[in-house]
Structure 1
Amino acid sequence: MTSAKISSYDQHGGGGINNQKMALIGAVVHAFETGIPFAFPRISEMDQANHNYEKYDYSVIFDDDPLKAVLKKYGITTVPFSADLDFDISYENCFWKTFHLFAHSEFLKEDLKGQLVSDLIGAFVPRVLVTSSFRRLREAIHNRDGEVLFCQFRIENDWIVHCRNEIIKVRSASEELYVDYMKIGLKIANTFPNIRNVFICADEPSMPASKEQIKLDLLQKFGIRALFKTDFLGTSGDDFFRPNEHSLIDMALCVDGTNFVGTTRSTFSNMVALQRYSAEAHKEPSYIYNHMSLRLKKRVDNGAAASVDQAVPVSGKEIVIKDTHIAKLMENGTEHPLLLREGASLSFEDAVDYGEKIELQKPLFDERLQSTGNVILDKSHIVML
């Protein structure tokens, strides 16, 4: 083993391709900070047939010229990868390094490291994007009657468990834990009432309902035509693309779309938002659905934050009820008791703050029912959105 320290890693197992992109960014930044050489780490990919991980060179799936250009621009030297190198940092530490770089919006800073992070975000160019198969797929999706809204629906069964066991520990005050596909559909319909085509990125075999059931439910309830990649590729999609390429294709479609909807808790959604921001022609801001609002919320963090409270501002025009209680309805000078159940949403244009209480001027209940009077309630029972 060589004695020279190298900024790279040889991960065992592997994360999703977006987590690996984040780890690679961390390794490059570590090389920049320490002055040690960088080696292109191998990409890890699960073989779905036998659940073993295959590893291959970065250049197999990405065009390495853009990243090499970034390395040269910032004076970062490279060495060929070998598992026998003396790695100075682990895969996990590289990932978390990037996670914190994003959380602190390093890509917005004008110093050299900030510029490096920004350049790295745009340096991943999947080779699959120049294939005729991808071009045909993109054309087929966009050849619809009306605009297509691109979304990540993080609704898979493993996500239900992850929300209950992990995200609940760090959730923001205004954050909704697991958001099912019907709730996402409701928020889309409330925010984009004229949108009829929604392209959904999800791990289809792991969804809690069949693709056909999801398509039927969204169409019948909201008039939304749900589109999935397998609608265009069929079950033979694996004949055209590698497993990692499927995720990269989803990301490319979402980055290129007019609007994108995702969740702050997914590295996929956050990387899409970051790449949309870093594109030469800045895209429209991305939206999130894991906020308690009955509408989608527009991100102001450009994809940097995992926390809802950091990703979107408080509007002061909407509340959600934390626990069931009795409020007051003031109607024509008469006071009536009003039962407000946990999870109810009230939106309003004007309010009067009385310290411990707040009076909402004729609020709208759950985006549907207009109150005939003002509602007075204790602020300890609400979350201001």
Structure 2
Amino acid sequence: MLSRDDLINAIADGSLKIYPFEEENLTGIGYNLSTTYFAFSINRGILLTVHQQTTNEGVNRYVIIPGNDTVLFFSKEYVEVDRSMAGTFHAKVSRVCQGLGHISTTLDPAWKGQMIISINNPTAKAIRFDLDTNSGNIMTMLLHKLDTAVTGDHIHNNNQGRCDLLLEHFAKPLPNKEYQNKHLQLESFVIGEFADSLNGYDEFLNSGQSADKYTQKACQLIELKERLTKERRILQEDRYMMGSHGVYHCLRNESEKELLQNCTLFQIYSKTHESIRLIDELKKEDLYTVDPVIEKYINIIDYELKTINHIRRIIWQNKKIEQFAGEASPLVRLRQQESDRIRLLKFWGPLLGVLIVAAIVIFLLWKFNVSSNACSVIATIAAPILALAVQFWYDGWKKG
């Protein structure tokens, strides 16, 4: 089993990648994983509604996990391991104390992508599950180094985030044309764009990406990577011209140094035995030493760009899920309308039945001129039975 320090070293040597990596999610023996807004109820066959609560700290999102139900989530983190590593997943104590149980699964060697996570609520009560208030909100991933790396093909068959397995659980759409259309759009999205996204078959670093807080950093990193890649190739071919000053400037200013130092992988390197040299300038006779350093710079930049790309991917996923499962989404609105209709039927149907039976009894008593004493006996027997029936009906309607 890998300790916290082993995990840091594994990321540094490239055998493990976690996007986005957050140091506060490291435990002594593992890494705490988080969820996206995707929460699929197996019993109901629907995405659970993503509720919003505004507090002084901002907007918190959560879902309500029904009693006696299993809900499928997807991890926020994109995890990639090489052929020499495998993992297991374990429930967090904070979730167990809520009454929730995690159904343990494994992480196969050579896996890359987001992971499907199953959470079971064996209790009879519904439980609130917060989605984005804290990092590492779902479970802990433990990783193990294999004695022998796995070889050959077909190491695992877990493609497309196993979205194919969800299709058999989707509920039949309501008898409403608008709902059916939205329902089909959701199914198509889950097994198409969403499934591809879970495995990283999409790109969020292209020029068409809307500007956000990562735009400037991403542009600077791409520009620096392109320059370093070009210069590295020229240096390897011994074609670099030193210029009038007779020195090579690898990092040209403090801004480029700061850009690298703020990258996740640079900070991880600083916690290991790996040393990172921030080169200002080199003379011609020292150029042979620069190639491995530039290679590390490029690795640092690549890791940061992939992190930014995945953060944007999660933002996109969550926005799309809210279009289908947010409180104001058409699917949720139509489902609520149908639920309200059923609740009204459950309310008025039994009540009208009771009133009709009571009216018939009163009519028969009047019709056959039953004595007051007999009426009293009948009322004494019927009253508690009627009260229990009404209470049973009301409790059923409330749960409904």
Report the TM-score range of the alignment, normalised by the length of the smaller protein.
under 0.3
Which is richer in helix? 2
Report which of the two structures shows the higher radius of gyration computed on alpha carbons: 2
Normalising to structure 1: TM-score of the pair?
Answer: 0.22
Structure with the bigger RCO (C-alpha within 8 Å, sep 6+) is 2
